[in-house]
Homo-oligomer: A and B are copies of this chain.
Amino acid sequence: MVPTFYYRYTAGKLKMATTYKVKFDIAPEPVEVPAGTMITVAAEKAGIEINQPCGGQGRCGQCAVQVTAGNVRRRSTMRLSAEDVEQGYAIACQTTVEGDLTVIVPPQEKIQQHLTTGQSAADVSVPSGYDHHRNQTVHRIPVTLKHPSMEDQTSDWARLKTAVLLETGLTELSISLPVLQILPAVLREGDWKVTPVLYVEDGMKSGGTGEIIDLIPGLVAEDAPLWGAAVDIGTTTVKVMLVDLISGEPKGQATEYNAQIARGEDVISRIIFAGKGEGDKTLRTLVLESINELLERACQRSKSCPDKIYKITISGNSTMMHLMLQIPPSSIRLAPYITVANYIPVMSSLEAGLSTHPQGKVICLPGVASYVGSDISAGVLSSGMSETEKITLFLDVGTNGEMVLGSKEWLVTCACSAGPAFEGAGVYHGMRATTGAIDEVWINEETKEAAFRVIGEGKPKGLCGSALISLLAELLMTKVINKSGRFDFSLDTKRVRKGSHGGEYVVSWADQNEIDEDIIITEVDIDNLMRAKAAIFAGFSVLGDSVGMPLDSVEQVLIGGGFGQYINVEKAVQIGLLPDMPWERFQFLGNTSLKGAYLALLDFKYQQEISEIANRMTYIELSADNRFFDAFTSAMFLPHTDMTLFPSVKIGGDK
């Protein structure tokens, strides 16, 4: 399946008159496409959906096809052996049509339905063995009470309590005032049949304690949905996943920009905003509006409503967590960079300001430090790295780069203020990964002409993060820039020129654009990007160094975060953003933060585990670490000063 929001638009090539016919074995007729068309696009035209789990970035190799006749150009042969290539195999999403073709599409077990609920929907599945009786902290306990009489004048609450204790084996049960206030009406409405909703912090167990958070008249069927929600508050986007706590199944997701964006793109500018006047109140209101709107949207799809949601788990970076709760965040920004709290008390939705059931529980997952929040501790859980014996590097790149090195034995973590360059900010034509953003760029090695891909159906407006990585790598690999990021003005191309910001390269000419100017990348942009990638790579170095371990002993690299999902690893290695190691060691996990929140929502043991992870992670403060500055300086080349660290990167060589 080609994600519908990718409209393939290969700028330079559309002008070519040459077209070729492509005949797929499973299609009745050949299709005609311009030279340079990606095979996946040709397949789409032929009505064939080719499975592309990695989203068409050449990483997973799942879209491999066999070209039995005709000429193709392989941009990448990742995942293919030399023998495969010999047999005509090609990665459909990385191979262009350069002649009339005959193509065999290998049988797919099934066409995966990706991204059904939005671009960045987390791909989660119910943990095997999930049993809401055993794992869940929210339970419905239907009970039938004896009618009161002159012989039995027990109060409503004592009557209910006795029945629930008997039914559950709990020894203590509490109730809050708002529930007491509805108790008499609910009992009588259901003719003394009632279904209390219980919250049992440590799980349902004999001798435990519980709290009644709601009362439903009558006896509710055991398999009726019982709603919870997992929330990931990112600096840029907020994601909500609605979950049926009985089956454990996600029943809807919704994603939206964090409405705080209008008050600052990164955490630092938000912290500054929060400190002015009622800025903190404004930011709280904005993010709550975002969450509440998403809850509403997720519920509509499942015919639920937010006030039926009894439990929410929330992950996010420490600043987002502070801002959502209106806890003053200023100490995060100022040395010695500390949070007010990494462990936030469980509170009611009412206290938190959420639109979920007022007595519903809000569980803000614990973070580690100012710049390693619960998005990372939840991410570590969902990545599985805290349970494996393999030495693992976990990475989440957004505005900051947070990384964790370790295994089940030990965990060290750090964050480098990479800046928002990889999110498109601080770059002249940078933009977020929305409609109109170029998200992938290819440069012809000889002509230095650019081809690119645009998100959505339309003309380009700017460059998003993955395009910047791709562009930087292509500029380097085609020698348009040198290892220091400086342009080669001696090249015979109009695309390299001197502009008002110094050297620049034109990615897309004004007449092809949605905007009235050329889309360019400048030397200043390149410098920003190099600083960002150098900071991240320096982070890896310090982490390794802190445990006396060279980076090549890392057995797997797990990449989380919405951004990570779309990084082209090959190109990220080429610019020295990711360490150079065999492809199979890299895994893209998608939104690990939301997945962690989902797991914590389902099972209190996962929730406890996130606390333990947060607790046992050793935080390394890079701003106080000279090693970091050394490593940073060394990484301020493309890919690196020390080329022995990047043996696979052959600049200008055959690919």
Contact = CB atoms under 8 A, between A and B. Distances in A.
Nearest to A159: B338
Contact of A340 (B157, B326, B370, B624): B157
A327 interface: yes
Interface centre among A148, A149, A345, A621 (most CB of B within 10 A): A345
Interface stretch (A173-181, A518-526, A635-643): A173-181
A154 interface: yes
Contacts of A181: 325-328
A177 B351 CA distance: 8
Contacts of A180: 325, 327, 340-341, 344-345
A491 B88 CA distance: 132
A345 B184 contact: no
A340 B184 contact: yes
A392 interface: no
A179 B174 CA distance: 23
Contact of A150 (B153, B326, B335): B335
Contact of A156 (B185, B331, B621): B331
A148 B157 CA distance: 48
Contact of A341 (B155, B331, B337): B155
Contacts of A336: 148-150, 152-153
A515 interface: no
Interface residues of A, number: 45
Contacts of A327: 177, 180-181, 183-184
Contacts of A148: 336, 338
A509 interface: no
A347 interface: yes
A518 B337 CA distance: 82
A469 B159 CA distance: 41
A152 B338 CA distance: 9
A158 interface: yes
Nearest to A619: B153
Interface centre among A150, A325, A335, A621 (most CB of B within 10 A): A150
A345 B183 contact: no
A450 interface: no
Given A150-B621, A181-B328, 7 more contacts: A148-B336, A153-B337, A155-B343, A157-B342, A176-B345, A176-B351, A184-B331
Interface of A: 148-150, 152-158, 174-177, 180-181, 183-185, 325-328, 330-331, 335-345, 347, 351-352, 369-370, 619, 621, 623-624
Top-7 shortest CB links A-B: A157-B341, A150-B624, A155-B339, A150-B336, A156-B340, A184-B340, A184-B328
